[in-house]
Amino acid sequence: MQLRQPCPIPSAPPLTVIAVDRREVLSCERVCDVPSEFPVCATDGVETRFAYSVRFSGREVDGMPTLDGVVKTDLRTGATTVAPFPNRALGDCAFVPRPGGVDEDDGWLITTSFDLAGNDPRIELLDALRPEDGPVARIGLPEWWAPGLHCLWVPGQVQ
């Protein structure tokens, strides 16, 4: 199987939806040309319209490629928006549904970030309806962490 065109950054794949069954690939569709990684979506069991991922910046820190933007892709239309984080490196993001929300993208995106010098670690929160507007909240963290920290939202209360 071959994609329609090569990815602009060889190590950074475009967002591609691949449908498989137990025996074969049923379809392969490139849905976003923004080089990105770690796609997530709302996980409420209904058909998914939106995917969220983090964009490759084309820069490296300590030999590792950095991620510098949160990408929202409409899987029906291919429309893509990016929330850029200049001079920061991001981890992957998690989708958090808004209590009582009606639309699939009614919620927040959570990601981790630090400046490119490896300082100022934060948790960044974005409105999933309009992530391109930038963070709606930032939480400073007291400790630096290694790049590659992954996010997962688990509803509930800490005991």
pLDDT score at 134: 93
**Residue 46, pLDDT score:** 63
Q: Which parts of the chain sit beneath pLDDT 50?
A: 1-10
Position 29 scores a pLDDT of 72
pLDDT of residue 136: 96
Query: pTM of the full predicted structure?
Result: 0.76
Integer CA distances (angstroms), 17 to 56, 58, 116, in order: 18, 23, 31
Residue 137's pLDDT is: 95
C-alpha–C-alpha distance, residues 52 and 70, integer Å:
7
Decide: 138 and 88 in contact? Cβ < 8 Å: no
The pLDDT, as a whole number, for residue 14 is 66
